[in-house]
Chains A and B, each alone.
Chain A
Amino acid sequence: QVTLRESGPALVKPTQTLTLTCTFSGFSLSTSGLCVSWIRQPPGKALEWLGRIDWDDDKYYSTSLKTRLTISKDTSKNQVVLTMTNMDPVDTATYYCARYRTRIEAFDYWGQGTLVTVSS
């Protein structure tokens, strides 16, 4: 049974750095073809892909956000960490981690999401 769960602060101040952790089970991120992505959704708005880390530690980032994002993994702990610097109120959103399968080029399992509010 595949599960993912996001954890981190619910509230961050402008200019601060956000760190979110995705803890997963039911698969190994050392398995070829499996990846974990981060996706966010501002309240009432569309989904936005942020970045991806692969089984072989390759990483890909949104063009518009790549200067602010870092994704890393700890395979032994089954965790993926997202760091986003210089947070702004427009970054207020529900942040999801999701498993990605390259064979189907789709996100087949998602975490429940965590709402992050950026406010002073």
Chain B
Amino acid sequence: DIQMTQSPSTLSASVGDRVTITCRASQSIGDWLAWYQQKPGRAPKLLIYKASSLESGVPSRFSGSRSGTEFTLTISSLQPDDFATYHCQQYNNYSWTFGQGTKVEIK
């Protein structure tokens, strides 16, 4: 199975900060990478699919990019509603795996 290495595991930031989270795949997955936001006690919410496509209704401050097997989620200006845990998810050959998650905390 493909492994997803997500970093950092925890990130402390302030409102208005630019935040970057990274996921690295253990082998090539093309663009098949999605990002989710999860708040405590809630289900994950899809933010980005196919590495850089914004899901409908998601604020434009969220963006995704890819360089080889490294994928990045960027929040351009962190808002109070964005303090949450973020997960990456890959798809390859009928197998799906998630990263370990990144908790974005208030600094």
| A contacts, CB < 8 Å to B | 37, 46-49, 52, 60, 63, 96, 98, 104-108, 110-113
- Which B residues from 22 to 66 make CB contacts under 8 A with A? 32, 34, 36, 42-46, 49-50, 53, 55
Min CB–CB distance B88 → chain A (angstroms): 10
Contact with A along B5-37 (1 / 0, CB 8 A): 000000000000000000000000000101010
Which residues of the other chain, B, contact A63 by a CB distance below 8 angstroms?
1, 95
Q: Check if A110 sits within 8 Å of B49, measured CB to CB.
A: no
Contact with A along B85-107 (1 / 0, CB 8 A): 00101010011111111000000
Q: List 9 A-B contacts (CB under 8 A).
A: A46-B99, A46-B101, A52-B96, A63-B95, A96-B44, A104-B34, A105-B32, A105-B50, A105-B91
Q: Check if A111 sits within 8 Å of B43, measured CB to CB.
A: yes
Nearest B residue to A100, CB-CB: B96
Q: Check if A104 sits within 8 Å of B49, measured CB to CB.
A: yes
Q: Count the B residues whose beta carbon is within 8 Å of the partner chain — how many?
A: 24
Which residues of the other chain, B, contact A96 by a CB distance below 8 angstroms?
43-44
Min CB–CB distance B35 → chain A (angstroms): 9
State in angstroms the CA–CA spacing of A118 and B71 once bound together: 36
A-B contact count (CB 8 A): 54
State in angstroms the CA–CA spacing of A98 and B45 once bound together: 10
State in angstroms the CA–CA spacing of A96 and B41 once bound together: 12
Q: Check if A108 sits within 8 Å of B55, measured CB to CB.
A: yes
Which 6 pairs of residues, A with B, have the shortest CB-CB distance?
A110-B43, A106-B34, A106-B49, A49-B96, A47-B98, A104-B49
Q: Check if B46 sits within 8 Å of A107, measured CB to CB.
A: yes
Which residues of the other chain, A, contact B97 by a CB distance below 8 angstroms?
49
Which residues of the other chain, A, contact B32 by a CB distance below 8 angstroms?
105
Nearest A residue to B31, CB-CB: A105
Q: Check if B89 sits within 8 Å of A47, measured CB to CB.
A: yes
Q: Indicate which residue in A46, A60, A110 contacts B100 across the interface (CB closer than 8 Å).
A: A46
Which residues of the other chain, A, contact B43 by a CB distance below 8 angstroms?
96, 98, 110-113
State in angstroms the CA–CA spacing of A63 and B2 once bound together: 12
State in angstroms the CA–CA spacing of A98 and B43 once bound together: 10
